[in-house]
């Protein structure tokens, strides 16, 4: 693979970052509901011309709630996957074992962080926001796939997280500072995860023949299809949450427009922005150029 990532360097970077959940959430570190949480490039609320400015901010908050919940949800399968992989590598390189255990530990911390966020959100938002799940069932379905397919899914997620923060959040002055701080701290650790996942893919793919790699890429696409189904359900829940929170009842035409715009927003957020990340495509290219071509061919449906 064409990269210069090492377990030793990512371990050192992870040890330098090392924040505590207690330092970034709780106490006076509260969400400010007067401001949007999500960048418009991911939320796409402005396209919904039938919503008032206040309703658009409420929808943005609902999307922010779902965004961090979904991260917590995918981390529920990343954590056991990385632990299982670390166990296979126990008698090898010490830096590898230590870096992978920190990766797992950080995902456990992120799951905790996003649960704390949710408590804070639910305590202030006022009405219920339903979410897909339960996370352990989705995790079981994902983990039933070939390890290389799961590792590709995780790599997609790690690069996608990097992209969202760097392209849409870091220099955005309009967003709530507390929500932005959660994304910044998450991004600081995900930078190492993307590299470690690339190294895991190197190890897993070396044990596979070309046909097995092709099948794994096929299963990665299937996992994406399953997650896409979940996203559609989440958008339906978001519509209900918006009506509950604002007291507004959307007409049939408004509901259809909401579903079309928000479904595509969710698809871009969680699928398209990962599938088209240059580093994710480079890993696919190194594995199987035809696999990269296949993903690039279906990506426009998720933009």
Q: Is 272 exposed, middle or buried (0-12, 13-18, 19+ CB in 10 A)?
A: buried
Q: Is 171 exposed, middle or buried (0-12, 13-18, 19+ CB in 10 A)?
A: exposed
- For the CA atoms of 256, 277, 219, 101, the dihedral, rounded to the nearest 10 degrees, stands at -120
- For the CA atoms of 293, 4, 102, 84, the dihedral, rounded to the nearest 10 degrees, stands at 50
Q: What's the token pair of residue 119?
A: 């408590």
Handedness of CA 234, 237, 243, 249 (dihedral sign): positive
Q: What's the token pair of residue 228?
A: 């896409």
For Fe ion, the closer of residues 156 and 292 by Cβ is 156
**Part in contact with Fe ion (CB under 5 A); list of ranges 37-45, 105-113, 251-259, 283-291:** 105-113
- Regarding 163 and contact with Fe ion (CB under 5 A), the answer is no
Contact yes or no for 150/140 (Cβ under 8 A):
no
Which residues are bridge partners to 29 per DSSP?
26
For Fe ion, the closer of residues 81 and 258 by Cβ is 81
Min separation Cβ 257 and Fe ion, Å: 33
Min separation Cβ 185 and Fe ion, Å: 10
* 110, 146, 156, 195: residue in contact with Fe ion (rule CB under 5 A): 110
- H-run or E-run covering 229: helix 210-246
**Part in contact with Fe ion (CB under 5 A); list of ranges 83-91, 190-198, 249-257, 277-285:** 190-198
- Regarding 238 and contact with Fe ion (CB under 5 A), the answer is no
Contact yes or no for 67/168 (Cβ under 8 A):
no
Contact yes or no for 38/63 (Cβ under 8 A):
yes
For Fe ion, the closer of residues 190 and 219 by Cβ is 190
Of 112, 88, 43, nearest to 204 (Cα)? 88
Min separation Cβ 142 and Fe ion, Å: 14
**Part in contact with Fe ion (CB under 5 A); list of ranges 31-39, 168-176, 191-199, 221-229:** 191-199
- Regarding 193 and contact with Fe ion (CB under 5 A), the answer is yes
**Part in contact with Fe ion (CB under 5 A); list of ranges 83-91, 192-200, 208-216, 288-296:** 192-200
- Regarding 65 and contact with Fe ion (CB under 5 A), the answer is no
Of 219, 238, 215, 217, nearest to 227 (Cα)? 219
**Separation of CA 250 from chain center:** 29
Min separation Cβ 75 and Fe ion, Å: 5
**Part in contact with Fe ion (CB under 5 A); list of ranges 41-49, 106-114, 167-175, 243-251:** 106-114
- Regarding 190 and contact with Fe ion (CB under 5 A), the answer is yes
**Part in contact with Fe ion (CB under 5 A); list of ranges 53-61, 188-196, 234-242, 252-260:** 188-196
For Fe ion, the closer of residues 190 and 238 by Cβ is 190
Contact residues: Fe ion, CB under 5 A = 110, 190, 193
């Amino acid at each position: 693979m064409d990269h210069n990532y090492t377990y030793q360097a990512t371990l050192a970077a992870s040890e330098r970052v090392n924040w505590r959940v207690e330092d970034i959430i709780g106490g006076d570190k509260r969400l400010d509901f007067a401001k949007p949480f999500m960048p418009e490039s991911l939320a796409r609320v402005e396209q919904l011309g039938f919503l008032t400015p206040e309703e658009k901010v409420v929808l943005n908050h609902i999307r922010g709630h779902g965004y961090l919940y979904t991260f917590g949800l995918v981390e529920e399968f990343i954590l056991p996957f990385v632990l299982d992989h670390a166990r296979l590598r126990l008698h090898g390189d010490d830096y590898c074992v230590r870096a992978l255990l920190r990766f797992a530990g950080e995902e456990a911390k992120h799951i905790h962080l996003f649960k704390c966020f949710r408590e804070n959100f639910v305590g202030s938002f006022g009405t219920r926001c339903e979410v897909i799940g339960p996370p352990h069932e989705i995790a079981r379905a994902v983990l039933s796939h070939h390890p290389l397919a799961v590792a590709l899914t995780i790599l997609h997620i790690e690069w996608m997280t990097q992209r969202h923060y760097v392209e849409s959040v870091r220099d955005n002055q309009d967003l709530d500072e507390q929500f932005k701080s959660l994304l910044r701290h998450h991004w600081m650790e995900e930078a190492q995860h993307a590299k470690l996942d690339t190294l895991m893919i190197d190890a897993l793919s070396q044990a596979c023949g070309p046909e097995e790699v092709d099948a794994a890429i096929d299963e990665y696409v299937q996992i994406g299809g399953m997650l896409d189904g979940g996203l559609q359900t989440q958008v339906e829940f978001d519509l209900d949450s918006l009506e509950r929170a604002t007291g507004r009842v959307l007409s049939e035409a408004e509901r259809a427009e909401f579903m079309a715009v928000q479904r595509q927003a969710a698809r871009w957020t969680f699928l398209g922005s990962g599938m088209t990340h240059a580093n994710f495509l480079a890993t696919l290219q190194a594995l199987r150029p035809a696999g990269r071509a296949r993903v690039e061919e279906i990506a426009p449906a998720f933009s």
